[in-house]
Amino acid sequence: MIKAGIIGATGYAGNEIVRLLSSHRETGIEWLVSKSYKGQQYADIYRNFCDIIDMECLGNDIDALLDRVDVVFTATPQGFLASILNKKMLEKARFIDLSADYRIKDVGVYEEWYKIGHGSPELIEEAVYGLCEVNRDKIRNTRLLANPGCYTTCSILTAYPLVKEHLIDPATLVINALSGVSGAGRGAKVNNLFCEVNENAKAYGVGTHRHTPEIEEQLSYAYGEKITISFTPHLVPMNRGILVTETASLIEGADEDSIRKAYEKHFGKESFIRLMKNGTNPETRFVEGSNYTDIGFKVDRRTNRVIMMGALDNLVKGAAGQAVQNMNIMFGFDESEGLRAVPMVP
> What's the rounded Cα separation, in Å, for the pair 114 and 107?
10
On whether the CB atoms of residues 331 and 143 are closer than 8 A, the answer is: no
For Cα atoms 41, 45, 47, give the angle at the middle one, nearest 5 degrees: 100
> What's the rounded Cα separation, in Å, for the pair 151 and 241?
10
Q: Is the dihedral of CA 140, 184, 315, 62 positive or negative?
A: positive
Told to judge if 50 belongs to the known catalytic residues of this protein, a careful annotator would answer no
**Helix, strand and coil percent figures for the chain, each rounded to 5:** 35, 20, 45
> What's the rounded Cα separation, in Å, for the pair 199 and 149?
26
H-run or E-run covering 31: strand 27-33
C-alpha distances (whole Å) from 60 to each of 120, 210, 264 are 18, 27, 45
Helix 107-114 with 212-223: angle, nearest 10 deg: 150
On whether the CB atoms of residues 142 and 330 are closer than 8 A, the answer is: yes
**In one letter, which amino acid is 43?**
A
Q: Is the dihedral of CA 111, 114, 118, 123 positive or negative?
A: negative
Residue 166 CA to its chain's centroid (Å)? 25
DSSP state of 11: S
> What's the rounded Cα separation, in Å, for the pair 48 and 283?
26
**In one letter, which amino acid is 131?**
L
Which one is catalytic: 50, 57, 132, 150? 150
Q: Which sequence positions are flagged as catalytic?
A: 150
